[in-house]
Amino acid sequence: MSHHVALITGGAKGIGRAIALDLAIKGWNIAFCYRTSGDHAQATASAITERGGQAWSIQCDVSDPTAARRMVSQVEETWGRIDVLINSAGPYHRINLFEETVEGWREMFDGNLHPIFYLAQAVVPGMKARQHGRIINFSMANADQMVAQPDVTAHYIAKAGVLILTRTLAKLLAPHGITVNAISPGFIDSGSAPPSELAAVVKRIPAGYIGTVDDVVAAVRYLVSDDARYVNGANIQISGAWGV
């Protein structure tokens, strides 16, 4: 099979969708998962097909390790392999630490950190067999600063954990021709935040403007290419120098 295969979590909307559409232009087979965004998933699948790729939208809660492994098996059985895993799903909420619930705390780790572990375990055997693979994980622009975050505590800790997990996977998998890197966006106009909120933070961004999904897509395009074959364990911040 000549087509490359990508599996994208959270690919129905926002950044994940933009990545999927960019790969579609190059004729990739793209499987992407969603939890509740069925209408968006259908529209994204159609857009992928229109751009020349093959699309497969899968409803899957990747916080469930069994469901995550099953999804990987389904894609590999159908398309023969997974060349690239992009972990772009990641729930987020803002609440003071002492008002956070146990359920809300767990949701941040179950949605942002744990699936990367589950999915890596599932896709790596095939990548090792082919001696090639790319895994891209999403953190956040200031997660490496380890500063206090009273209103996004669990989310921030989970995103810092993503960086540690990324580097660990990179070290373990480099001998097998597999790269594992992180992308850490700052404020990106991906459609998830109200324009008024984005406008309010512009003055805090040294570059002076909000990033776009195209800025993130460009980084992904590089990391999945052969040009990035020696880039492993990196954390690319896409933030206009915010959070550095």
User: Residue for token digits 């619930």?
Assistant: 101
Look up 209 and say whether it is catalytic. no
Q: How many CB atoms lie within 10 A of CB 107?
A: 19
Task: Give me the residues paired with residue 86 across strands.
Answer: 8, 136
**Separation of CA 37 from chain center:** 17
On whether the CB atoms of residues 74 and 124 are closer than 8 A, the answer is no
- Distance CA(185)–CA(192), nearest Å, equals 13
Q: How many residues in the chain?
A: 244
- Cα three-residue angle 211-212-216, rounded to 5 degrees: 95
Which of the following is catalytic: 34, 92, 118, 156?
Answer: 156
Positions annotated as catalytic residues are: 156
